[in-house]
C-alpha cells in the first residue's frame, strides 16, 4: 500500500484528525491518501488540507467517516475547488526552478493557499468567486512550453466505488 501524505496541511491544528481516502475508485489501486480533518458537530469532519489525489473533495468540505476512519461521504461541499498541477521533470534544472518560483509567487500574489507534494506537484485551494487569470496564464504557459498538466479535482465526484 502506498500512502499519500500531507507534510504541511494548510489547516494544521492541535486537534487534527487523520482519515484515509481510498484512491482505487479513481484508478489509483493500492494507494491511500491520508487527509487532515477537523472534528465538527454532528459526526462530520471538515477537510483541513488540500487533497492531492482524491477527486471530489476540497478544503472545508464536510465529510463522514466509516468506523475504520475512511472517508465515505461528502456531507456538505464548501464551494472551494482544487486546481492540481504537475510539472514535468526537466534536464534544465534552472528552468524548472524558475517555474516553481513563479508559480509559488503567483499563488501568493493571488492570495491563495497551496500544498506541494514533492517539488513538481501542487494542489491549490480556489475559494468561490476567486479570480485567477494571472495564475491560469502562468500554468497554461507551463503546459504549452514544458508539457505540464493541470486538472480540477472536481472533474469527477467523490466516490468509494470504482466507476
pLDDT at 66: 95
Provide the β-strand partners of residue 126: 81
- The answer to whether residues 55 and 6 belong to one domain is yes
> Mean of the pLDDT values across residues 29-46?
95
- The answer to whether residues 63 and 89 belong to one domain is no
- Do the domain assignments include residue 162? no
> Mean of the pLDDT values across residues 71-92?
94
Looking at residue 133, the DSSP 8-state letter turns out to be H
- The answer to whether residues 24 and 47 belong to one domain is yes
> Mean of the pLDDT values across residues 119-125?
96
With CA atoms as reference, report the closest residue to 140 among 148, 132, 152, 151.
Answer: 148
pLDDT at 153: 96
- Do the domain assignments include residue 95? yes
Q: What is the pLDDT of residues 82-107, one digit of tens each?
A: 999 999 988 888 989 999 999 999 99
Cα distances (angstroms) measured from residue 23 to each of 15, 20, 103, 127, 149 = 25, 9, 27, 24, 19
pLDDT at 14: 83
This prediction has a pTM of 0.94
Of the residues 54, 76, 98, the one at which a domain ends: 76
Of the residues 26, 56, 76, the one at which a domain ends: 76
- Do the domain assignments include residue 67? yes
> Mean of the pLDDT values across residues 141-153?
92
- The answer to whether residues 63 and 106 belong to one domain is no
Cβ–Cβ under 8 Å, residues 45 and 17: yes
**Distance in angstroms (rounded) separating the CA atoms of residues 10 and 52:** 13
* Residue 62 grid cell: 464536510
Amino acid at each position: 500500500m502506498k500512502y499519500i501524505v500531507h507534510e504541511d496541511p494548510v489547516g494544521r491544528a492541535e486537534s487534527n484528525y487523520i482519515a484515509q481516502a481510498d484512491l482505487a475508485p479513481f484508478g489509483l489501486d493500492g494507494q491511500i491518501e491520508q487527509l487532515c480533518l477537523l472534528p465538527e458537530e454532528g459526526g462530520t469532519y471538515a477537510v483541513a488540507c488540500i487533497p492531492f489525489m482524491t477527486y471530489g473533495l476540497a478544503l472545508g468540505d464536510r465529510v463522514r467517516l466509516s468506523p475504520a476512519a475512511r472517508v465515505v461521504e461528502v456531507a456538505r461541499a464548501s464551494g472551494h475547488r482544487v486546481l492540481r498541477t504537475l510539472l514535468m521533470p526537466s534536464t534544465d534544472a534552472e528552468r524548472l526552478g524558475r517555474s516553481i518560483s513563479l508559480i509559488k509567487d503567483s499563488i501568493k500574489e493571488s492570495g491563495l493557499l497551496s500544498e506541494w507534494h514533492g517539488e513538481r506537484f501542487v494542489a491549490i485551494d480556489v475559494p468561490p468567486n476567486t479570480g485567477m487569470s494571472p495564475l491560469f496564464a502562468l500554468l497554461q504557459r507551463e503546459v504549452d512550453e514544458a508539457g505540464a498538466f493541470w486538472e480540477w479535482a472536481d472533474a469527477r465526484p467523490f466516490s468509494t466505488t470504482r466507476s
